[in-house]
Each structure stands twice: as C-alpha cells, then as structure tokens.
Amino acid sequence: MKYKQLIAKMTLEEKASLMSGKDFWQSQDIERLGINSIFLADGPHGIRRQAVSSDKLGLNAGLPATCYPTAATVANSWNAELGERVGEYLGEEAISQKVNVLLGPGINMKRNPLCGRNFEYFSEDPYLTGKMAASYIRGIQSHGVSACVKHFAVNNQEERRMSIDTIVDERTLREIYLTAFEIAVKEGNTKSIMSSYNKLNGTYTNENLHLMKDILRGEWGYNGTVITDWGGSNDRVAGLIAGNELEMPSTSGETDKEIIEAIKNGTIDESVLDECVDRLLELIYSTEGVYQNPRVDFNIERHHRVSQKVAEESIVLLKNEGNILPLPFGKRVAVIGDFAKDARYQGAGSSIVNPTILDHTLDCFEESGILSIGYEPGFERYGKKSPKKVAAACALAKEADVVLLYIGLDEVTEAEGLDRQSMMIPDNQIELLNALHEVNPNIIAIVSCGSAIEMPWIPKVKGLLHGYLGGQAGARAILRVLSGDVNPSGKLAETYPLHYRDTPSYQNFPGGEVSVEYREGLYIGYRYYDTAEVDVLFPFGYGLSYTTFEYSDIRVQEYGVTFKLTNSGNVAGMEVAQLYVGCQSKDIFRPKKELKGFVKVFINAGETKTITIPFDDKTFRYFNVETNQWEIEEANYEIMVGASSADIKLSKSFFVKGTGAPLPYEKEKLPSYYSGKAQDVSIEEFETLIGREVPVATWDRSKPLGYNDTLAQCQYAKGVSARIAYYSIIFSFWFLKKIGKRNTANMIMMSIYHLPFRGIARMTGGLVNMPMLDGILLMVNGHFFKGLRKFLRERKKKLLIVK
C-alpha cells in the first residue's frame, strides 16, 4: 500500500468516514491528518458545478462553463485526437472551477435507440466507444484532475435503472459491454470509475465480485477508485468487500457505522478497509493540485471556438440529392423551425451545462454568407399542433429558392431517468414538412437530437444534415457546413434502422418489471443488421462529403492492413476509413463483421495517401466460455476496409493461427445465434446460452415491499396511503405535462417513480435514515399507525443525536 504509514495513524472511525461523502458533492476530509475533501462534478460534455452549496442535491444551475458537443455527437467525428482535445479543455475548466473529479465520460453501449440517455454515450460499438473514451480520459487527466468513467456496467436503459436486473451471457458481457471499459482502463488509465445502479445477473454491480474483483481488479489490473452513482449503494459492506471505495452522496455517517460494526464482528477484515482507503487517498493526492494551485480563469472565447471546431467535424451529411448542398451564393433561403430560433444543443438531466456563450442560427446568418429572406417557427416546440404557424411557414417557403427546415427532438424527450416512447419526431413537425413540400420541394432538413430516429419522411427532403447535439457553438457550425465553408466529415456512430421494430432488442426492451434479458446476445447495432441481412436507413459509419474518395491497393501483413486513399473530387476533405474483420469459420457464432480499427485522414483534392491501420490484441479475439478467457480461433479472416459497415471498398483473406481452445458451444442448440437472426430468441435457447434458468421477470405481489422495491410498486401495496401516494405521483406527472411543465413532470418520473425505497435514505443526505425508512415500509405494507410511530420515534432519536 502506498499510504500505509498515513493509514496507520487513522482511527477505525476515520477510515470508515472516508468511504462516504461529506455532503452531496464532496468527499470526507480529515483535518488533523491534512487529508482534504475532493469535489466531484457532473460533466461528460461540460462542467456542471452547481452554483448552490455542495450540501444541495438536484439539477440546479451550474456555474457558467463551455458546453461542448455531447459524446453521441463527438463519436461521429471518429477522431480520437479531437476527443483528447475536448478532454484537455474540459480538464482546464475543471481546474478553473476547483473540480477534482469530472463525472464522465459515459461509455455504455447503445443497445436500444430508445434509451433516454443515449445522447451521453458514444456508440453502439465497443471498440469505437473505448478509443474515444480513452482519448477523453487522457485529455482530462493531463491537467491533474480525474475522469470518472461511467456507468460500470450494462446500464443500457433508464426505466427502473436503480433496480433492474440485467441478464446477459458471459461472452456478450465481455465482448460487447465491457470492452470499452477495458480500453478506458488500460489505454486511458482512468483514475476513477462510477458503478451503475442496476444488478448484473442477480447482484448489484458495485457488489458484484465477478465484475469488480475478477475482471476489473484482477484481469485489468485496475488500482483506481470506484465511486457509486448517487444513491447507488445497496449493501455498503458488500460493496466494500467488492472494492467500492466511495459511496456518494453522504449518508451522515450511517453507513460508516455499518462498516465499523462489520469489522468489529469479524464480517470483514480491517485490511479490506485499509486497501480501499489507500486507493481513495491516491485519488485525493493525485488531484490535489486543484486545491493547492490558485484559481485561473479559462479563455471563454478560445474554448467556444474549440467547441465549434468539434461540432463542425461531427456533423453528418446524410442526403444530398442533386448536390443541393453546399448552398450556392445568392440562393434565397427561408428559415423554418423552432430549433432555428432556440438551438437544441444538449441533453437533459445531470449533464445540463450552463453555457458561457450560446450561438443561435438566426444570429449567425450575416457572417455565413447565406441569404435569408425570413424566419417562421412553423411548429410548437413541444408537439402542440398550430395550423396558423404551418400556414405562415408555407407562405414564407413559397418566396424562397430553398427551405432550411430545423427539426428534431425537444429537451424533455431525451432525458436522464426516462426512455423515449418512440423513434419518431413529433407529428406536428412531420405535418409541417408535408405542407412545406407542397409549396417548395427544395427542402434541406437540419436535424437536432442525440440518438437515432425513424425518417419515413426522408423522400420529401433533398438535403439532410444531422447536427446531433452540437453544444453551444453548434448552430454556427451547421451554417458553416451548409455554406460550404466546412466540408462535412462526420460519420454515424450508430445504425439508423428503417423502423423501430427492426431493432435487435425490440422484443426485450425495457424488459420486465424486475429484469431485462439481453436475448440478442452479441448482435446489437450493425452486428445484427449485417449478419441477419436486415435493411437499414443509414448504416453504421455512414456519412457523405462534398468530395469523393477512392480506395485501392490493399495489403495485409502480420502487423496490420495498408491501402491507398485518394481524394478524387475537387474539394479538400477528411475521410474516415474503417477496418472490419470477419471470421470465415462457422464453428463459433460471430457477427458477419466487427469494427477493429479506424483512422480519419485529411486529403487535398487530387492527393493520394498511403494509410496503415494496425492490428491489436482485440483484432481476432473472442471470449471462450469454456476456458473462461480470451482466445483466437484458427481460421481465415476477411480483412475489410470501407467507408461504412455496408460500404466495403477493399477486402482480402488472411490466415490467423489460433490458440487451440475447445469449441464452447453445441451448434444445433443455438440456431438463432449461429444464423445471426437473434431478434426473437426463445427463452429455452437463451437459457442454453447463459447456462442457467432466467429469473422470473415480474414482481412477486404476495411479498411485502422492501428496500429494493420501487415507489412504482406502491400500486400493489397493502397500505391505502401508499396506493394513494402512487396515484398522486401518476396524476402529478399527467397534470404537469398537461400544463406544459414537462421538465418538472420528468423530474417526478426520474427522481421518484422509479426510485427504490432504499433511495429515500441514500439520496437525502441523511435526512431520512434506514430505521426511519423501516417505519415508512411498515406504513406502505398496511401497518400505517405502527409505521408512523416508528418513523416519528426514529426521527426523534436522530434529531437528539444531531443536537
């Protein structure tokens, strides 16, 4: 242990106190030993240090900070160097705001397009996600602060996220859901990791010894700190045994007592606590420059310009019929859509950033060189239909050569704590588009949202530019692409299916009341669509340019693949060349192809460059469930280089010597997985894959409600007061949406409806302790007066202790 001597000076009580927060945003300090608190702040795409004091929880306004494009946006750049630059600027702002630990990046897989937090996550592919995450981490930590990679692991939905049990087979867990974390640990060297709320195969992730001990600490050699998500601790002692150092937020010493008691009664050895304290001290001392150095203001204008550069390189051109883009000089354009006036530039929830500057489209036209003849909102932002606004928009469109139509999803549709209800944009926007098409067919749609959407209306637009969520400078960046000042180079980091029903997890999202089964296994995103030969709207890795590129002269050697890339057009541009690998053996089921490398290259018009994409330890491996380790299957592999997963330009067969591992599966028992048609796997076949029975996915209504049941389950409670509370929550949600208070309505669902009862104690900073919660549960389970007496008695005890 690095801090053995310092730890020896601590009392048992002091060591235990370090294992939970001092308040909502700070760790505990020990003044007599010179151990300072560290400050943790939200911020995957910008710093959200709350302007209110750190003893306040909630989504309060943060101090002004640069709002960079979200992770879902930057992933479309396919530029790890750009990601590192974003990280460097985030780290600089963290230092400026005295933040030791920046809670990001988020690297969970986009298993399903409806996950409400997809805007915070990079991709459906673990390799691309891992490489982008590692670059962010290196940039952030170059300033002496810590990144905190989240949410570890298999947290791929928001509904019931604090209680859901994720059922997944070991190979899928390793290859799809843990690979990005592995890269973040080994290549990014992240100093801290945030555990997720959910269970994994029956055990909460921060208590899961297989996940935390065997894999994270053992196989990956991780020596950093594990921090719970806020309120994400279930059994504090079990978490400590698993190696979860810091519980957030504060529990006012309640869980410290649990740790002390466990050591005194021999449940755990004090050395376990000492090791956790040692790792936390390393996080504290490795980020101490934050509070030792004087505060330095960052250059707001320069950071804003960097945000714009990142947005420009992440914008994806999806359609350009008749080369309607870039807009020729002198074209008269009508600007239509509410998002043109008030830009949609970030998601909602804990990641909300208070921007230092905010560009809006209407304020940037003069410098863009685009000739605007006027603006009309065309639609109500939150879905209400307005024939008057549609008529005004159509009148303006008639006078224009081209219509710039700004559409997408609003802020409360994509939000932490809630999953989307459909993949469609609101009906009122589609009706506006249909009406505009009748009067002017030259429509360029600019889409703003953080995740995949259905586009049945796409035949009615000639140009389609996807800005995703481009941060505070995104509006200006879009205009620079429209005008041709910037040649678009973004490519999709996720597949756009034709219909939601085509997605591989369609049958199993968001799962049952208690658990969610990942029956599709390895086949998420393009791995499914390509293997099962399902048509898509836009494939993974797709994106157009104002120039053209030609691939030639592929060569494959032991170290990697080399080829030539030529800009065959008339405009300088950047191309993302993608390496895919497919095993030609059929002995072990695999996706048809998997991303194993990529490179983004700037090439002048007419220029040719020789490109090399190296192989690495992940190029040919698969996880063998028989040997319980990574193996290589001896076979011929197809080495493919392309412009997207569906646009392979070059390929060559290459023989790879294997490790000689036994075959892990009986082929005839897993027909869906060997065919790749894994959207509708039977429970029997899924149980064969995981090697055990799946748990019952419905709540057992015969049992009394307990700590890990959610407030939503009060609908089944024996106590009348609990059922009244449930219907009050439902009515409040409905009523607030009805009167336009959608943000508040969403907060109810995020913070109350899906909250486990233990969260009442874990998320209130000690205002409600577990004995008081026992009283609440007595009331919920039909013993109202007995429960009320216990609650009041325990509350009185607590107040006396505080005094």
**Residue 334 phi/psi, 5° resolution?**
-100, 130
DSSP assignment of 261-319 equals HHHHTTSS-HHHHHHHHHHHHHHHHHTTHHHHSPP----HHHHHHHHHHHHHHH-EEEE
Q: Which of 237, 235, 257 is nearest to 17 (CA)?
A: 257
For residues 140, 144, 148, 149, the Cα torsion angle rounded to the nearest 10 degrees is 50
Q: CA distances (Å), 79 to each of 178, 358, 393, 599, 612, in order?
A: 22, 24, 38, 7, 16
Q: Sign of dihedral through CA atoms 372, 373, 374, 379?
A: negative
Give per-residue burial for 387-415: e unless 16+ CB within 10 Å, then b: eebbebbbebbeebebbbbbbbbbbbbbb
Rounded to whole angstroms, the Cα distance separating 318 from 797 reads 63
The gap between the terminal CA atoms of the chain, to the nearest Å, is 38
Number of Cβ within 10 Å of residue 11's Cβ equals 10
List, in sequence order, every residue forming a beta bridge with 333; answer none if it has no partner. 372, 402
Of the residues 125, 165, 169, 229, only one is catalytic, namely 229
706 phi/psi in degrees, rounded to 5:
-125, -170
DSSP collapsed to 3 states, 543-580: CECCCCEEEEEEEEECCEEEEEEEECCCCCEEEEEEEE
**CB distance 274 to 11 below 8 Å:** no
Opening angle at CA 184, ends 181 and 187, nearest 5 = 135
Report the half-sphere exposure of 527 (CA within 13 A, side-chain side): 30
Beta-bridge partner residues of 536: 497
Question: Do 581 and 633 contact (CB within 8 A), yes or no?
Answer: no
Q: Two tokens at 253? A: 């010493």
DSSP labels for 724-768? HHHHHHHHHHHHHHHTT-HHHHHHHIIIIIT-BHHHHHHTTTTSS
761, 769 contact by CB (below 8 A) = yes
Residue of 90, 77, 89, 88 whose CA lies nearest to 131: 77
Cβ 343 vs Cβ 359: under 8 Å: yes
Name the DSSP letter for residue 121.
B
- Report how far residue 219's alpha carbon sits from residue 653's, in angstroms, rounded to the nearest whole number: 32
Residue 245's contacts (CB-CB under 8 Å, 6 or more residues apart) are: 19, 225, 226, 227, 276, 277, 279, 280, 283
Least Cα distance to 383 among 323, 432, 310, 434 occurs for: 432
Task: Determine whether 718 is exposed, middle or buried from the number of CB atoms within 10 Å of its CB (0-12, 13-18, 19+).
Answer: middle
Gap between the Cα atoms of 663 and 387, Å rounded: 63
Cross-strand partners of 555: 562
Catalytic (active site) residue 229: yes
**Nearest Cα to 342, choosing from 299, 288, 290, 381?**
381
DSSP class of residue 512 equals -
Which residues carry out catalysis?
A: 229
